[in-house]
Amino acid sequence: MDGSHLPRRTLRSAAELIGEGLVPAGAGEAIETVARRYAVAITPAMAELIEHAADPIARQFVPDAAELTTTPDERADPIGDHAWSPVKGIVHRYPDRVLLKPTHACAVYCRFCFRREMVGPGAESLDAAELTTALDYIRAKPEIWEVILTGGDPLILSPRRLAEIVQALDAIPHLGVIRLHTRVPVVDPARVGDELVAALKSDKAVYVVLHANHPRELTDTALVACRRIIDAGIPMLSQTVLLKGVNDTAETLEALFRGFVRHRIKPYYLHHADLAPGTSHFRTTIAEGQGLMRQLRGRVSGLCQPEYVLDIPGGHGKVPIGPNYLDGDNVTDWRGNRHAYDQAAATKAL
């Protein structure tokens, strides 16, 4: 966008998007239809980055009429959260960890979101009684070692409320790790002040996982926000969604993952896009994703390598789907050349 005219507040309607030049006037009716079904929010920090309608930042946040097309394989709950929710706000898919979703609101709403049917400004957050019930569930399950705060975005909570949740989790003896998944340091970096960082203080290990998909999201202000978290002793990881037209080239992913590592953020997951309604225009094939991971194997340091994963539709869990380099007694290197490796001979001494 033209830096001389930037929005001062989050954009939420077709009229506001048209007014800022992010959507052509003739598309207003279709965009309003999308906005009635799926939440829309573009923060000033993200609007400032948009250069034209087809750029990778616009593609992530500006609603598109293509979202009104739902394919037969798409699902309202693509990774099966509901099937594993014993009480409101908890998803207990794996024995040793749970998701805790205190809010379903976000600072921005990604057009490819796998929870797009559940999140939005009017979506339910946990009230005091519901939060108590969710925490009691965690307290009663000694096998739970890790709690992942998600939603929605937990960093849109007030520092006071966030601190109350972290302190409650800190007091549960069998927990070892508190993890928070967020986009806030990138999309609304001004939120990450001293009070919010202090709210994350815990005797448990606390990790913050940053969601960013394109190297241009790592602005100077975003990196200052991340540095506040990291300098407070809180390690940061990253998660990225592989998106057609946003980051589906080796060059873009290389720049993104190097950008993370340069600023002490460890790439963690590269997600294959989920089967959320109205998102088929974002999905690559798994073979394309595997090809990109093969290219990255030789292009960037091991520190820059995330795990390429798929959440199996229906709630069956997350699995790695990266390329396989071993085929019998042959190993393929990052250049695609095959080499003999006699497994039987290599293990005879054992």
Residue from 244, 99, 134, 113 nearest 183 by CA: 113
User: Up-side HSE of residue 138: CA atoms within 13 Å toward CB?
Assistant: 31
* Contact in structure between 166 and 199 (CB atoms under 8 Å): yes
262 is catalytic: no
109 is catalytic: no
Q: Of 77, 81, 113, 207, which is the active-site residue?
A: 113
110 is catalytic: yes
348 is catalytic: no
93 is catalytic: yes
274 is catalytic: yes
* Contact in structure between 8 and 44 (CB atoms under 8 Å): yes
Which amino acid, residue 175?
L
Question: What strands, in cross-sheet order, belong to the sheet with 326-327?
Answer: 326-327, 330-332, 338-340
Q: Of 64, 183, 274, 294, which is the active-site residue?
A: 274
Q: How far is CA 8 from CA 120, 193, 228, in A?
A: 20, 19, 24
Tokens coding 80: 């099966």
Q: Of 64, 153, 188, 311, which is the active-site residue?
A: 311
106 is catalytic: yes
Q: Of 59, 64, 101, 110, which is the active-site residue?
A: 110
Q: Of 97, 179, 183, 191, which is the active-site residue?
A: 97
Q: Of 59, 115, 191, 216, which is the active-site residue?
A: 115
Q: Of 106, 153, 191, 294, which is the active-site residue?
A: 106
Binning the chain into helix, strand and coil, the percentages to the nearest 5 are 35, 15, 45
Q: Of 170, 258, 318, 325, which is the active-site residue?
A: 318
304 is catalytic: no
Q: Where are the beta strands (DSSP E) in 72-137?
A: 90-94, 97-100
Residue from 62, 60, 59, 99 nearest 79 by CA: 99
- Beta-carbon neighbour count of residue 91 at 10 Å? 21
ω before 152 within 30° of 0 (cis)?
Answer: yes
Q: Of 94, 161, 170, 297, which is the active-site residue?
A: 94
Catalytic positions are 93-94, 97, 106, 110, 113, 115, 274, 311, 318
